[in-house]
Amino acid sequence: MSLSKQVSRRELGKAALGGALGAAVGWPQLSFASSPSSASVTPQSSEIHLACDIVVNAKDEDLLFFKQVGLDRVCVRQTKPEDQSVEGLLRIKKRFADAGLMVNDFDNQGVNANLGDIVLNRPGRDKAIEAYKTWIRTLGNAGVSMIESIMYNATASVVSGQAEARGNTHGREFDRNSSELTGAPWRLGGRTGSLDSLLFGRAYSRDEIWENYTYFIKQVAPVAEEAGVRIPFDPDDPTGLPSAFGVPRIFSTFEDCKKALKIANSPNVGMCMGCGPWLEGGAANTGIDAPGFIRYLAAHKQLFHVYGRNPSSPLPRTHETYIDDGYYDMYKIVKTLVDVKYDRVLTLDHNMGMVGGLRTYQAFGLGYLRAMLQCAQRGYHA
């Protein structure tokens, strides 16, 4: 039975109000007994922490906003070289902690920009790996337990343009048949082509990419274990593609992800469940649906982070849309997280444009996630 048949609009509104607004004035979390007529006020029972990305130089009012919508975790983005020392990270952590926000992870674009060298075994590979290991040690020494999730491929996300969704015209689109596909600017430099175009100079074999991955993970996993830092891999965006631009993709199917984690063979290596990319691929292309993958990862203690995003449709053509507007019932994912006793971070992914600016969508999206989470905690079935 669907969530809409079990929970009325009034109840969902109460949950959203209790989560997204109630935190601003210190109200307890709203939760529901099995009978909607016997709603009661109880503490939030799940250890799932809602989070959102935040820029390193966020204003004080931004920190207050996140506190008011009920967050206690943030993922810090756009760190600068002067921030990326132990002392710099501790300073940033303290500022957020003083506002009641714990830092989940930091980005480092100087490290991430060179992942293409690692994936393709280019001349800068060993230098890039050493930089990644140094960053892991820095995070560990600053008391940060997770590095930002990485997309282990040559392109990062692959897109074909932008699409319209409820008046927002800037959502990313992927059309498998497009001849103007491209990836992240720091990986592809603006080059475009069809999915079969050899934009990296030649075709790479799957064996090559697996060998390069093994070389990388066997060096960084021991460092992560020593530093007490978890390494989460993002699924390819979108999943379900065997290759892109002549380079095989090894985080696009269930079987490949299992293989990658087995090669790592480390308690500090796992997955960031990017719901958007996985749903873009769809079970027909990935080999398992999103709840099934979550259950597998949780059972093996390899679920490190979850990003909440809902696309318009599975492949061959898909685009970003609002979290309540996609093709998938996101409540199934949230309910699965509660059922497997997931106790880490659930992050609102990829902000969509709304009248009023960034905070409008963040308030909407986080309130929607919190309402689903509270209903899942009370046992409503998907």
Q: Which residues on adjacent β-strands are paired with residue 13?
A: none
| Per-residue pLDDT tens digits for 45-64 | 458 999 999 999 999 999 99
Evaluate if residue 31 carries a pLDDT over 60. no
- Can you tell me which residue has the tokens 């398992």? 288
Residue 96 included in any domain: no
Assigned domain for 85 exists: no
In a domain, 156, yes or no: yes
Q: How far apart are the first and last CA of the chain?
A: 6
pLDDT attached to residue 335: 97
* Residue listed under structure tokens 């609002």: 322
Whether the CB-CB separation of 169 and 162 falls below 8 Å is answered with yes
Q: For residue 7, is pLDDT > 90? A: no
Residue 305: pLDDT over 70: yes
pLDDT at 26: 33
Q: What is the pLDDT of residues 330-363, one digit of tens each?
A: 999 999 999 999 999 999 998 888 999 999 999 9
Tokens for 198, please give them. Answer: 């050899």
Q: Which domain holds residue 220?
A: 108-350
d(CA 290, CA 255) in angstroms, rounded, equals: 14
Q: What is the mean pLDDT of residues 221-242?
A: 97
pLDDT at 8: 43
- Is residue 2 pLDDT above 80, yes or no? no
Q: What is the CATH number of the domain that holds 220?
A: 3.20.20.150
Per-residue tokens: 299 = 């059972």
- Cα→Cα distances 373→15, 38, 237, 257, 350, Å: 9, 19, 25, 27, 19
Q: For residue 44, tell me if it sits in a domain.
A: no
Q: Which of 146, 88, 78 is nearest to 110 (CA)?
A: 78
Q: Across the chain, what does the average pLDDT equal?
A: 89
- Is residue 61 a part of any domain in this protein? no
Q: In this structure, is residue 326 part of a structural domain? A: yes
| pLDDT greater than 70 at residue 238 | yes
User: The whole model's pTM is what?
Assistant: 0.88
Domain count for the chain: 1
